Copies of this chain bind each other. A is one copy, B any other.
């Protein structure tokens, strides 16, 4: 089992969906990632919160294989984000983003974490992502997320990061934008040529598409769910389940990558069942195992 170093945001979210509202609940990419990955391996979180985060640290990260040595608490307020979802949950409007203490965030990797074999770079400024890579010693696998904001605004910095990344996890519009190519197969090859041999394209309710080293793709649908309550954090939870499972494997081969996609999809399918990280906090390993097998029933067919 390989520990994962995870760098990213820990936040307070306010969310409105067609099914309800939640105000100032725990969110942030690193939060979702760490909880999801902690079902499979040890997670070393590097992030910053304000003094207002208080007892949430223990509530969210306590009692799990999550090392919070790298989680700084500094004077000021925690990163806050407010978003509102449309009728079918596919459209989302950001009402506000207050960076607060996150504005000055400079990831400092604790000495004891520098030899982490797995690293996940959450969606932060590419220069900070590069800074993290410089601080760690030859990790076995580096995963990363990014977004349209960095693809447009800091393409040169991003390209330097991509050269050091093994697995890039982005959505389909980001893949198309990064490659400057509408066809997703061609876009995937272009992105692979930039560095990450494994590209995981997240498509929300339409599932996931992954390139593999051999050139072939692996695809998985999302689990059809009767109640999707709040999609916030689904992609970060996916990344946590995906990399968490990979880190628990002896070797990262095509078969392990395929199972990792299903574990990521499994964790994400739970995350959306309730606001914030509420569903993940009460999730059990048995439930994960049952839903993983439901994915097999959902997708498998016999050749004859």
Contacts and interface: CB of A to CB of B under 8 A. Distances in A.
Chain A interface main SS type: mixed
Contacts of A302: 255, 258-259
Interface stretch (A115-123, A236-244, A293-301): A293-301
A228 interface: yes
Contact of A299 (B87, B219, B294): B219
Given A183-B225, A185-B226, 9 more contacts: A183-B226, A216-B297, A216-B298, A217-B224, A218-B298, A219-B298, A219-B299, A220-B221, A259-B303
Contact of A183 (B184, B228, B258, B262): B228
Given A207-B206, A255-B301, A87 B221 contact: no
Contacts of A303: 259, 292-293, 296
A217 B298 contact: yes
A41 B87 CA distance: 43
A93 interface: no
Contacts of A188: 224
16 contacts: A183-B227, A183-B228, A185-B226, A206-B206, A206-B207, A209-B221, A209-B224, A218-B298, A219-B298, A219-B299, A221-B221, A258-B301, A261-B301, A299-B299, A299-B300, A300-B300
A296 B301 CA distance: 8
Contacts of A297: 216
- Contact-size category for A: 35 or more
Contacts of A216: 294, 297-298
A303 B294 CA distance: 11
A88 interface: yes
A225 B259 contact: no
Contacts of A255: 301-302
A203 interface: yes
A259 B301 contact: yes
A13 to B, nearest CB: 23
A281 interface: no
Nearest to A295: B301
Contact of A207 (B185, B221, B292): B221
